[in-house]
A and B are shown apart, each in its own frame.
Chain A
């Protein structure tokens, strides 16, 4: 399967714990995006990388959220000191760098904070 993959697919954690999600984009894509989606809402943009450079991070929900893409390939999204309000689907997408290319989404990581 050469699509975007995300790991884990599901994560249950207790409030206050840290969690980290991984995204592997389509190999030829150098742009990578993170979104959060809650029930009944569309995906909400969080942050975006072009290669290893994080070009937009002002939409990260709080300073508890951080993302990295150290070698310009896979990316991680970390949430520190999780809260119940962080429960959501976290989606990753990737695209080519040219123009306004289509974004291809991964299956998402569903986070439940108890």
Chain B
């Protein structure tokens, strides 16, 4: 079983649609959680951190359920520029070592 699992998609949605991505992680000791965005042939960039209380950044809302080991990302009023791969990321600290584990990513295409 992968440490971080995501639905690979692709998700093809019209402009203005609401789309939700889900992610599960297997290591219950994981301590912090993120969504990264990766455009085609580019490096990943942090989209937002994910907090247990849920957090919102404009059109983007992230949720974390530690009991279920489940993370979600909701994009409202999607724009053409939201087309990218969205990577669910889990940070685990073991002693002095820290490690980001990435999911395989969910591909989103927003259509005009």
- Contact of B99 (CB < 8 Å), options: A40, A45, A107, A108: A45
Query: Which of the four size classes fits the interface of chain A?
Result: 20 to 34
CB of B61 closer than 8 Å to a CB of A: no
- Contact of B100 (CB < 8 Å), options: A33, A41, A107, A108: A33
Q: Which parts of B12-36 form the interface with A (CB within 8 Å)?
A: 31-32, 34
Q: Which residues of B contact A43 (CB under 8 A)?
A: 44, 87, 100, 102
CB of B43 closer than 8 Å to a CB of A: yes
Known: A42-B105, A106-B43. A100 touches B32 (CB 8 A): yes
Let me know if A59 and B102 touch, CB within 8 A.
no
Query: Which of the four size classes fits the interface of chain B?
Result: 20 to 34
Let me know if A59 and B99 touch, CB within 8 A.
yes
A37 to chain B, nearest CB (A): 8
Known: A41-B104, A42-B87. A105 touches B97 (CB 8 A): no
Q: Which residues of A contact B4 (CB under 8 A)?
A: 42
CB of B98 closer than 8 Å to a CB of A: yes
Q: A30 CA to B44 CA in the complex, in Å?
A: 20
Q: A4 CA to B79 CA in the complex, in Å?
A: 28
Q: A91 CA to B100 CA in the complex, in Å?
A: 13
